[in-house]
Amino acid sequence: MNSQQSKIVLISGIIIAAVVGLGVGLTVGGFDNADKETITIQSKSSELKKITIAVMPNEDPKKFEMQGKALEEYFTKKLGIETEFFYPIDATTTVESLVTGSTQIAFMSARPAQLAHERSDGNALLFMAEVRPFTSEGGEKLDTFYHSEFWVRKDSGINTLEDAKGKNVAFSGPTSTSGYLFPLAKLVDKSLIKAGDDPKTYFSNVLFSGGYQQSLNALIAGQVDIAAGGDHAKFRYLTPEEQNQIKVIEKQGPVPTHGIIYRTDLITPSLLANFEKAVLDMKSERPDLLESALFGATDFVPVNHYAHLAELGNAIAKTKIPHI
């Protein structure tokens, strides 16, 4: 090969290498954002040696921690990857664990799920929702939505929210969807408080009880005059005799049920699909875990994050409640 031919071969090689390099650069360097995101997601997800799943407490976490091992065994077997479950002490801890990525999937209520979505720059999405049995006067029903209620004792003389001005009220807690957010939205709807106002501007004392059961117990015991929570709570936590002592004076909703949220940048589509199937299989394979470890859910169904939480967004916008 003469020197002229060598130069031609060398130049051709440089051009080919440059073209190949440019092609890689176009894909990875940002010209195709969708491909870049896919590569990033797969890279991060492939590093996972263990998946950590949080279950936000709805009652005393210690009651459910005992079932954690059974859940870990079930999902480890179904997913083919080591799985760890833990029960955070509250909603705020659950949100933080998702935002930092220390947990990649979480079972949680609607409002904290939306907050996790916002604080993770949209990288946390709700993809499944609980189907729960709700007992009502018309019998038992299954749904992914329910309603919030205001309750009073029948002998209280309170028949409307207007009658409750200056009274003592019990809410589940500042992060509760049906036990705080939606009741406040009703107060705003009725012009009893202004958007952004503390409920103490209307009630004389506000008790954050810690849950539906605690609020109902406080109402029955006469510690508060009015309480709020999910429409199913009175049937679940009160005896028939106690149920007969209270009445509903207002209803609000529909309220989205709890759901399952995941980090889109840490969980691959294939792992997500396997997790979703494992959850759906629980109804036939381990219904006991749904009841004992996941707060009584009857089933879970796939949902769209934005559609499921639409009413929640309306309530937040209406009340202007500050983020937790």
In the chain, how many H helices and how many E strands?
A: 14, 12
Query: Residue 37: pLDDT above 80?
Result: no
Band of pLDDT at residue 1, cut at 50, 70 and 90: low
Query: Residue 155: pLDDT above 60?
Result: yes
Give domain 145-256's CATH superfamily: Periplasmic binding protein-like II (3.40.190.10)
Burial code of 115-150, b = ≥16 C-beta within 10 A, e = fewer? bbbebbeebbbbbbbbbbebeeeeeeeeebebbbbb
Which tens digits make up the pLDDT trace of 165-186? 999 999 998 888 999 999 999 9
Segment holding 317, helix H or strand E: helix 310-319
pLDDT at 24: 36
CA angle 135, 140, 145 (to 5 degrees): 75
| Average confidence (pLDDT) over 33-59 | 60
Band of pLDDT at residue 322, cut at 50, 70 and 90: low
Which tens digits make up the pLDDT trace of 5-27? 444 443 444 333 433 343 333 33
Of all residues in the chain, what percent carry a pLDDT higher than 70?
78
pLDDT at 189: 96
Q: Please give the CATH topology (third level) of the domain spanning 49-135+258-310.
A: D-Maltodextrin-Binding Protein; domain 2 (3.40.190)
| Average confidence (pLDDT) over 62-78 | 81
